[in-house]
Structure 1
Amino acid sequence: MVPFVSALRPCFSGLALGLACVAAAAAGPPSPAPLAPSGDGTDVIDPRTRLAWSRCVEGMHWNGTTCTGQGQLFDRSQASAQAQARAQAEGLRWRLPRANELRRLVDKGATPPGLDPRLFPAAPRDWHWSGSAPIRQAQANPYAYDSIVQGRSGGGSRLAVSEGWAVNLATGEARGDTAKASKLPVRLVRPLD
């Protein structure tokens, strides 16, 4: 409230000017620049977060117009290894994105919702791996049949170890209970600097 009031102080020199100033102050700061392709077109730049997104999922390649090839599917450990391998090969800090970073890519106002096809052509519209760590810690009952079948013991939870975060790029939904053995596409991200 205080920043809003202090932004209005210079506005009270005239009624018409004051109303225009109130509207401008209520609107807040200008929105950040939208996502845009990099100069060579291989990445999508997010100026607000200072991140560069791979335009194509792993396994596909940018041909100057679109993403071609077949996207690969990885389990969670393979996805991490792929990010490390690409970082070493290109000398850039590629990594798996956090769940909230992936969710930011989804345009929920589009019909149908999903990634902008002009920025991410031929993109899979399904679950993608995230680098976010699971935070759920369920306790297991050693006397329950389900716990024994799933390999859980009373000494703690192995559940969090076997699950990871994934994001549905058609809806923006994020889940932290995706089995790490699941085969999902990977879209890597790196810092601009």
Structure 2
Amino acid sequence: MKPLSQLFAALACALTALPVLATDSTAAQDWSLSADGAYVLDVRAGLAWPRCVEGMQWTGKTCTGKPLLLDRAEATTLATDRWKAEGVGWRLPRAAELQRLVDKSLSPPGLNPILFPAAPGQWHWSSTSNVSAPSVNPYTYGNIAQGRAGDGGRQAAMINGWAVNLSTGEARGDAARASKLPVRLVRPMLVGAGK
């Protein structure tokens, strides 16, 4: 009877591990390196990520230099200027795209150091905007008496932006747009160019 229970225990362990193995191998298939090694290609999303944040340079083995810290407006301008200069759709990534870079299988979670060597694991700017602002009826007596005009939510959206912590994957919409944060731009994968 004991060998039978051991067999069931081994079978249960093996079946429990199957989804984890399938998830890891599927996730690994989504990522590859460009032919020159300077970009991480997200095959599923069709995106190319530079291995280094802005301000750092790819040496062929690692990223060197210091991250360029920009406020939200400077980061957006950088992406626009690069798009115009190179003719490639560079942009600030959305919060969900940055979160996808965080490898939760690592302990602690963060960017995979093989794909993104020497990457700063801190808050990074995203292009995600606050899309929900509380509605205020300007004709309601309570709002008039308290001086609410209905634009408080929009004012907060102009002051704050979305950032993602690449050490944890946490995204927050209350980052002051004047904050100086690292920037990791993204662009579409170029078909047939190997990057």
Aligned residues: 161
2:161 corresponds in structure 1 to 164
Deviation at 1:135, TM superposition (A): 2.1
Q: 2:178 aligns with which of 170, 174, 181?
A: 181
Q: 1:161 to 1:173 in 2, by over 3 A?
A: same
Counterparts of 2:46 and 2:69, CA distance in 1: 27
Deviation at 1:91, TM superposition (A): 2.2
Q: Which runs of 4+ in 1 moved over 6 A?
A: 139-144
List runs of 5+ in structure 2 lacking aligned partners. 1-17, 137-142, 191-195
Deviation at 1:42, TM superposition (A): 1.1
State the Cα deviation string for residues 1-47 of structure 1 (Å, max 9, x = none). xxxxxxxxxxxxxxxxxxxxxx9xxx89x836131221111110011
2:186 is equivalent to residue 192 of structure 1: no
2:26 is equivalent to residue 31 of structure 1: yes
Q: 2:109 aligns with which of 106, 113, 118?
A: 113
Percent identity for Structure 1 against Structure 2:
54
Q: Give the number of the structure whose residues are more often helix, by fraction.
A: 2
- Which amino acid is 2:149 matched to? G
1:89 corresponds in structure 2 to 85
- Which amino acid is 2:186 matched to? V
1:98 corresponds in structure 2 to 94
For the residue of structure 2 that corresponds to 1:83, the secondary structure is helix
Q: 2:57 aligns with which of 55, 61, 68?
A: 61
Counterparts of 1:110 and 1:89, CA distance in 2: 37
For the residue of structure 2 that corresponds to 1:31, the secondary structure is helix
Decide whether the 8 Å contact of 1:136 with 1:160 is kept in 2. no
- Which amino acid is 2:74 matched to? Q
Deviation at 1:87, TM superposition (A): 1.7
List runs of 5+ in structure 1 lacking aligned partners. 1-22, 148-152
Over the aligned positions, Cα root-mean-square deviation in angstroms equals 2.5
For the residue of structure 2 that corresponds to 1:160, the secondary structure is helix
Bigger relative contact order, structure 1 or 2 (CA pairs below 8 A, ≥6 apart): 2
For the residue of structure 2 that corresponds to 1:159, the secondary structure is helix
- Which amino acid is 1:130 matched to? S
